[in-house]
């Protein structure tokens, strides 16, 4: 299963600890990506899918076009996957954490206790 999701849904999934996979080139990824995202370029996704931990995945690119293709490819392997509509541009426009460089960067996540209290 794969589907497109909006920024608030992706943010909630990110806060819950779901894996974010950026399917852009390493150069695009280094220029700015969702904090904590891992980079697996779309052209490598099919052969590297086994490197990903179990669980659902949110794919992201710059605007959402390549990430939809990535989510669909992951769904073909039996993985539940989602594509961020609007991509990193929409994520950043919403004021969510974006980092630069080749490393994933740190996620700012609330503790389980705080998440439960805010529900």
Nearest to 70 by CA among 34, 30, 61: 61
Q: For this structure, is 54 an active site residue?
A: no
Contacts of residue 33, defined as CB under 8 A and 6 or more positions apart, other chains included, come to 22, 24, 39, 60, 88, 98, 99, 100, 104, 105
Which of the residues 45, 61, 68, 90 is marked catalytic?
Answer: 61
Are 61 and 70 a contacting pair, CB within 8 Å? yes
Helix, strand or coil for residue 27?
Answer: helix
Residues with active-site annotation: 61
């Amino acid at each position: 299963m794969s589907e497109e999701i909006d920024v608030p849904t992706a943010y909630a999934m990110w806060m819950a600890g779901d894996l974010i996979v950026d399917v852009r080139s390493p150069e695009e990824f280094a220029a700015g990506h969702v904090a904590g995202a891992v980079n697996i370029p779309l052209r490598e996704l099919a052969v590297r899918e086994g490197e990903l931990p179990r669980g659902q995945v949110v794919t992201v690119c710059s605007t959402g076009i390549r990430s939809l293709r990535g989510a669909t490819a992951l769904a073909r392997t039996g993985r539940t996957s989602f594509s961020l509509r609007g991509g990193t541009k929409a994520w950043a426009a919403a004021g969510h954490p974006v980092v630069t460089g080749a490393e994933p960067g740190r996620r700012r996540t609330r503790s389980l206790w705080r998440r439960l209290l805010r529900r």
